[in-house]
Amino acid sequence: MTLGKLLTAIGVILVVIGLVVSYAPWLISWFGRLPGDIRIENEQRFVFIPITSMLIVSIILTLIVNLFFVNSELLSIIFTFYLSGTPSSCRMF
């Protein structure tokens, strides 16, 4: 998979997420209302800490990233491109 195809796939995914948020908000209405999400409300302040919701989002994103990067060759190409494009004094690895 080339970098162009990867960026196109990410763009399509973002468009789909945007359409779902705009036209079908009931599909994500659970977000922030799960047991374990902390909501502290006051007359003057509102604190929201979505612990459980973020755990679920993290698990989903981990599964998606693992599907894309099962082939370690693509990951090595990306790192090689990154390292070859930086001066030797700025290399991170």
Q: How do residues 39-71 score in pLDDT, each as one tens digit?
A: 889 889 999 898 998 999 889 888 877 776 665
Chain-centroid distance of CA 69 in Å reads 14
Whether the CB-CB separation of 86 and 80 falls below 8 Å is answered with: no
* Burial class (CB within 10 angstroms; exposed 0-12, middle 13-18, buried 19+) of 50: middle
Q: How far apart are CA 48 and CA 38, in angstroms?
A: 6
Chain-centroid distance of CA 72 in Å reads 20
The answer to whether the pTM exceeds 0.85 is: no
Please give the pLDDT value at position 32. Answer: 79
Please give the pLDDT value at position 34. Answer: 87
